[in-house]
A and B are shown apart, each in its own frame.
Chain A
Amino acid sequence: MDFVGNKPFPHLLIENFLDKQKAEKLLLALKKEKFEEKDSDLFQFRQTKDLHFSKDKEIREFVNMLESKEFSNRIKSITGINVKEGAFDLSGSLYIDTDYLLCHDDELEGRKIAYIYYLCEDFSEKDGGALALLEDENGKPGKVSRRYFPKWNSLMIFEVSKKSWHEVEEVIGKKKRYAIGGWLH
């Protein structure tokens, strides 16, 4: 695992993040949450409210896991970045046919690491929906350097900086791109 050495900026995909049954139960719980349509010049997708306030047992368990010292220590050991225990944002997201998130860097005060936990079936080229990571060229986004198609039960983490240019490519077709994500502070 080489978080720091991965290009174009530090990132890592951790596969089989949760126990398979736990992941399946979490997806069922996420599907019961209310998703609101979000759209602007930059994006079009659906999002839940802050999942910290979810009353669902499975989601509470997931939140508790992210809040645990064990998780923040694991993140620290992988990334070398000192994230605060229990300090994070999280919401569910759903991208369906034609949804997208155009290029941005995520930078906002306090955000150290962005995370996306995929709870959807595996995507491939024909389905779109890839997380594309772009090179930085003198402070501007350049070429796409890496593309990661959503993979069931995998966690993507990347360092947030002025150079962490990324986008979610348009979803094409019937697959639903469920995920839980946010930022570790």
Chain B
Amino acid sequence: MINSAYSNEVIEEVKQSFNSHDMKHVMLQSFFDEESYSKLINCINNCKRTGVKIADRYSYSLIEGDNLSKFFDDKLNFMIEKIVGKKIKEIKIDAREFGWKDYTLLHDSENKDKGLDIFLFICRENWDYFWGGNVVYKSKEGKSHIFTPVPNSLCIVSRRKEDMSFIQYLNHYVGDEKVIVLNLKLE
């Protein structure tokens, strides 16, 4: 399921890359093998979507993806454990789809504790930064780190205390394109 290119040696390099940033992070491109990624897309295309919006907080479609967890097995847990150096018990999936006019906003009530964010992008090739839909992390000092969607890419981010993130507003140039952000929530 996970791309076989992610061998133990490669994972060791990924770990070094992850640890080399102030805000530890890494993006694993071509994360699933092609067949698994196609199956994941097919599975998601059949999932029910529900639009959710509280205008001063967020606007997106929630994907009912109970059957998506089969794509994220123990191998993934082991891989993440090796990269971040922490034990992972269980992963739950939270899938959100963003199209034109969608966004999430930073909010005072948001959890500002440190933690681990893991998410997979599902979108078309050559997503344009200018369309929006980028995942933006802001530190308390105002520095930002931006993840522009790349299909089949798994991002791992170690949030420090006071780091917060939002999904940038998607403008009209996105047309009918959508980006799905699959959040892997650690239990």
Residues on A close to B: CB < 8 A?
41-42, 44, 98, 100, 102-105, 128, 134, 140-141, 165, 167, 170, 172
Partner of A98, one of B54, B105, B171: B171
User: Quick check: B172 and A172 within 8 Å, CB to CB?
Assistant: yes
Those of B103-118 within 8 Å (CB) of chain A: 103-106
- A residues in contact with B129, CB < 8 Å: none
Interface size on B, residues (CB 8 A): 17
- B106 and A103 contact, CB distance less than 8 A: no
A41-B136, A140-B56, A141-B55 given as contacts; is B105 within 8 A of A102 (CB)? yes
Out of A134, A141, A165, A170, name the residue touching B101 (CB < 8 Å). A170
* CB pairs A–B below 8 angstroms (7 shown): A41-B104, A41-B136, A41-B166, A98-B173, A102-B169, A103-B56, A170-B172
Residues of A with C-beta under 8 A to B152? none
- Which chain A positions have C-beta within 8 A of B56? 102-105, 140-141, 165
Measured between beta carbons, the chain A residues less than 8 angstroms from B106 are: 41
Nearest CB in chain B to that of A142: its residue: B55
Interface, chain B (partner A; CB < 8 A): 54-56, 101, 103-106, 130, 136, 138, 166, 168-169, 171-173
A41 near B105 with CB under 8 A, answer yes
Cβ–Cβ contact A170 & B55, under 8 A: no
Give the Cβ gap from B137 to chain A, nearest Cβ, in Å: 11
From A167, which residue of chain B is reached at the shortest CB distance?
B55
Greatest chain B CB density within 10 A among A41, A104, A105 is at A41
Q: Is the CB of B103 within 8 A of A102?
A: yes
Alpha-carbon separation in the docked complex, A110 to B105 (Å): 25
Q: Check A42 against B101 for contact (C-beta < 8 Å).
A: no
Tell which of A98, A105, A141 touches B172, judged by Cβ atoms closer than 8 Å.
A98
Indicate which residue in B55, B103, B130, B138 contacts A134 across the interface (CB closer than 8 Å).
B55
A42 touches B105 (CB 8 A): yes
Query: For the complex, what is the distance from the CA of A141 to the CA of B56, rounded to whole Å?
Result: 7
Given contacts A102-B103, A102-B105, contact A41 B168 (CB under 8 A): yes
Q: Which residue of A lies closest to B106 (CB)?
A: A41
B residues less than 8 Å from A141 (CB atoms)? 54-56
The answer to whether A44 touches B55 (Cβ under 8 A) is no
Q: How far is the CA of A98 from the CA of B171 in the complex (A)?
A: 6
Residues on A with C-beta less than 8 A from B55 are: 102-103, 134, 141, 165, 167
How many whole Å from B178's CB to the nearest CB in chain A? 17
In the complex, A134→B53 CA distance in Å?
Answer: 13
Chain A contacts for B173, CB-based, 8 A: 98
